[in-house]
Structure 1
Amino acid sequence: LMRPLQGWRGRGILVGTVTLCLAAGWALQTPGGVSLVVPQPNINATVAQNILLSVEYSCRGIATIEWKHVSSWGTTSIVEWRSGNYVNISTVYKDRVTTFKNGSIQLRNVGMRDAGYYFVTVMEEHGTNAYGTIIVNVYEIIYEDLHFVAVLFAFLAAVSAILICFMWLCNKSLHLFQKKTTHTLTASTTEEIELETIEC
């Protein structure tokens, strides 16, 4: 009873190996296939800053890249282009977007409405797609912090001015004291000379 089972297992392993080899060969010969890498899935930016939504794709055929922005204000198509053919930028982003060959885009002068999710789709001509997502957080410049820094700077400047004045007064007092001491010593020396002269 065991021998037929072992023979069947051997045949199954052989068939599986052959099938795997054929599948691998077919995959290598198939012109399709696309891969997409998102090196920085989270981006923090401040208002008016330029940001780079960086991706890297590879495919055997001609790819079409599409970027969309999804936020609480809705979904907006940013740009769509086909490698080597055309670039279709939405009118909302007309003067703010730069595309790159690797599928990345640069978004200039971001505002609070630019925060949200950015979806990139790479569509290969043979029907294979790849998807990526980047989350962008946009923060306002907090002017209260700048005010605090300005006040601190003014305080330090005032303290420095007071210290400089104090050092100047100390130096002046020391100079006057030295001058007075020198004058006293000179007067004492003169008196001693006069006394010696009288004694003589």
Structure 2
Amino acid sequence: KKLLNVQFHDLLQLISLHPPQRNLIRSVQDDVFFSVDVASSGVPTIRWSFMSGAVSRCIGAWRPGGFTNITQDYSDRVNACDNGSMLLSDLKLQDSGYYVVTAEDPAGNSRDLGFVLKVNEVLYEDLQYLSVTALALMVVAALLMLAMWLLHRGCRKLRAWRRRRQMPGEAFKRSPENQS
């Protein structure tokens, strides 16, 4: 799992990313960890929210060393850390969207930073297609082997018949004059 580090230094002065990756791609049922380091003169309040084309909702808010308030929609899937980090586990397709972290100092100054999360579906249909294709190829291979075996056997019988036909004793037995 990749870590995404966000540093807020003196909320009014600097916001920097380490590494500068703001677009995350995960699969359904994976976890994503947002690591946030907030530096402030006072104890900041951290808020995480989620936005997509269909909905916009608060994930939770907490103060390092203080309160933690995670909404009921996320209560069993979010772990909040004192430094503002957030672990979102058991991802669903509906978790794809824009995540915003807001850090607010006691004076009311705040900074926002957004991240895009894309959750991909694990396509079991692809695995099913692959196994059906493999099975079909095995059946074709078996039929080709059977055809080769039958042709080889027929070829051997044809050779044996030709040899018997060319033998002098066999020719005498088969002549029409001797059959009466």
TM-score normalised by the shorter chain: which range applies?
A: 0.5 to 0.7
Corresponding residue for residue 115 of structure 2: 134
The alignment's TM-score, normalised by the length of structure 1, stands at 0.58
The 5 A counterparts of 1:31-42 are: 33-34=10-11, 35-38=14-17, 39=19, 40-42=21-23
Corresponding residue for residue 91 of structure 2: 110
Structure having the higher helix fraction is 1
Structure having the higher strand fraction is 2
TM-aligned CA deviation for residue 73 of structure 1:
2.3
Amino acid at match of 1:94: S
The 5 A counterparts of 1:58-77 are: 58-77=39-58
Instruction: Structure 2: give runs of 5+ residues left out of the alignment.
Output: 1-8, 150-180
TM-aligned CA deviation for residue 43 of structure 1:
0.9
Distance 1:154 1:60 in 2: 65
Corresponding residue for residue 56 of structure 1: 37
Structure with bigger gyration radius: 1
Distance 1:85 1:78 in 2: 17
Q: Deviations over 1:74-133 (max 9, x none)?
A: 211101001111100001111110012332211111112111110110011133322110
Of the structure 1 ranges 125-134 and 83-92, higher mean CA displacement relative to structure 2 is found in 125-134
Distance 1:132 1:106 in 2: 17
Percent identical among aligned pairs is: 32
Distance 2:44 2:108 in 1: 10
Contact 2:47 2:102 in 1 (8 A): yes
**Aligned pair count?**
141
Amino acid at match of 2:27: T
Contact 1:36 1:58 in 2 (8 A): no
Contact 2:64 2:83 in 1 (8 A): no
Distance 1:76 1:111 in 2: 16
Corresponding residue for residue 143 of structure 1: 124
After the TM superposition, which segments of 4 or more aligned residues of structure 1 sit over 4 Å from their partners?
155-162
Distance 2:16 2:72 in 1: 28
Q: 1:44 aligns with which of 11, 25, 32?
A: 25
SS of equivalent residue, structure 1 residue 55 = strand
Q: 1:121 aligns with which of 97, 102, 115?
A: 102
Contact 2:47 2:103 in 1 (8 A): yes
TM-aligned CA deviation for residue 150 of structure 1:
1.8
Distance 1:55 1:157, change over 3 A: farther
Distance 1:53 1:148 in 2: 36
